[in-house]
Every structure is written in structure tokens, then in C-alpha cells.
Amino acid sequence: MAVNFAALEISIEIHHNFNLITNGMAKLSAIHPEIKPDYCSSPGGPWRPAGFLWFSLALHFAALVSLILMPSFWTPALVGVGLNQLVLTLAGLWPKSRVLGPNWTRLPDPSVARGEVSITIDDGPDPEITPRVLDLLDRYGAKASFFCVAEKARCHPGLCREIVARGHSVENHSLRHRLDFAFSGYRGFLREISEAQSVLTQLSGSAPLFFRAPFGIRNPILEPVLSRLGLQLASWTRRGFDTREHDPGRVYERLVQNLAAGDILLLHDGNAALTRDGEAVILSVLPPLLEAIQKAKLSSVSLRSAQA
Ligand SMILES: [Zn+2]
């Protein structure tokens, strides 16, 4: 019987969490009334829970009802809920997953038809590396999206404006790039993302349209917050692992493998690994990568250009 009560308690707790998600929009409004939805300029729009979230909600509700009406049914009910939680957790740990909501892992079809790819550059801006990255992009006539950490941008206020002045876009990569970002609830997500949005808008003169989760990890509560703030989650098609790979050749090979229109590629101007010569890896990878893109008759554009 004690087990039954424990099972019931767990199920109620999980069901409560899902209520938090489904009521998230209203609660966000109550906590931060100054944040208004901007659906007109939003690539996302009002939050519509992904199909699997509706299924999960129904499953949790069914498990709760069965525990109340048929306590002896607790084993299959708990196993079902446990497996469902496992899938939700794995989806949050897999950056390219679309189980929790919309997620750009490739460019939209019209952009693919135009022969476009998009280089995205994370974790900056960096006062030493970002200006050199901008020069390299200029040299090849390429445009990119910079997913900036707002606290870093605040320390180097001229860099965001320079990024935009050179024809690239500044996007939102959270306020502090916290290690525990994925464990945030809606208050934590809202604080990190909305403050970053405000800092980056002020510094760049243009509101970010895309958000990338620190380390690519998230939970089901992130999507309603992004919808509320008019942001679209973006991950990538391929990444070079250039925060821990010191060999630029290997990073390049990973990025150009099956290079094709629609690819979103990930590199870093912040937290970048260094080559044997003490250079940030991105500085050695960009020239051959941009040459490969040109040779394949593709053009590198920012994510916001790709959605036009
Ligand atoms: Zn990052």
C-alpha cells in the first residue's frame, strides 16, 4: 500500500509539472507583465505544443486516473510514465530533436532551392577572435549568424553593432551560458533569455529572431518561453566540435562531409579550442570551409536571410 501511495504521489508530481507547462503562457505573463508577445515579427508565433507533448500529457492523465480508480494497476502505469519521461529527457539531451517543439536543423526549402548554407558561430563575441572572423567572412563575401552570450556582448559593446554593420546577424545564446541552463524552470528560462534579448537588441540595434540553447540541451518548458518571446529554436546540421578538437583539419572534414544546400554549420568564436600554433581553431577552418562552399556553388547566408 505504501508503494501505491508513493506511486500516486510521483504521478501527481509529474502531472503537476505538465500543468505548469500547459499553463506556462499565462504564468509567464503574470510574472513578467512587461514582456509582450511579438507575434508579428516572430518566426514562431503562439505556442502550440508538439504532438508528442499532447501524447505525454494524455498518458500522464490516464496513469493518474488509473492509479485512483485501479490502485492495483500501478506497475504498468508507472512503467508507462517512466518510459515517457525517459523519452522526454533524451529528446532534451539530443540537440537536433524536434520532439519538444520546432527546431531548425536545416534551412527552409526556399533557401535550399536558392543553394544556401548557413554558418553559425557560437559563444562570442570575443574581442580578439570575432573581428578576425568578420574579416575572413568579408574576404569570401559570406554572411553568418552569431549566437552571442549577452554578458560577453555587454563587456565588448561595439562588437555586436560591428557584426550587424558587416551584414551578419546577432542571435540569442542566453545571458550567461550557464552549465545548468537545461535544468531551469520557466522563471529561469525567461530570466536568462529575455534579459539576453534585451541586451543584444540594445547593443546590435536589431532584435534576435533565433535562440540556441547553451550546450544544445533543454527541457519541455523552453518552447513556450521561446514562443512567448518570438524566438525560433535553431540547432545545426553538423558541428565541428571545435571547442575541444585542436586539429582544424578534423573540424573541417566534419563540416564538409556531405556538404549540401540547406546545411546549418556550427563553429565557435568563444570557448574555442586552440591549434598547435595557439590560434583559435575557427580561424584556420573558415578559409578552406568558405572555399569549399564556393566550390560547391553554394552561398553562405545568415539564418534570418534564409527564412525570407
Ligand atoms: Zn554555446
Ligand 1 centroid, distance to 122 Cα (angstroms): 5
Ligand 1 centroid, distance to 249 Cα (angstroms): 22
Q: Is the pLDDT of residue 75 over 70?
A: yes
Ligand 1 centroid, distance to 41 Cα (angstroms): 25
Express each pLDDT in 107-160 by its tens digit: 999 999 999 999 999 999 999 999 999 999 999 999 999 999 999 999 999 999
Answer positive or negative: Cα dihedral of 120, 122, 124, 126. negative
> Across the strands, what pairs with 145?
120, 169
The three grid cell numbers given for residue 182, joined into one nine-digit string: 537545461
Ligand 1 centroid, distance to 123 Cα (angstroms): 5
Express each pLDDT in 246-289 by its tens digit: 999 999 999 999 999 999 999 999 999 999 999 999 999 999 99
Ligand 1 centroid, distance to 78 Cα (angstroms): 36
- For residue 60, the number of C-alpha atoms closer than 13 Å in the C-beta half-sphere is 21
Distance CA 106, CA 303 (A): 10
Express each pLDDT in 219-237 by its tens digit: 888 999 999 999 999 999 9
Ligand 1 centroid, distance to 70 Cα (angstroms): 47
**What's this model's pTM, rounded to 2 decimal places?**
0.79
Stretch 282-300: mean pLDDT, rounded? 98
Express each pLDDT in 191-215 by its tens digit: 999 999 999 999 999 999 999 999 9
In this prediction, residue 306 has a pLDDT band, given cuts at 50, 70 and 90, of very high
Phi, psi of 161 (to 5 degrees): -65, -40
Ligand 1 centroid, distance to 272 Cα (angstroms): 10
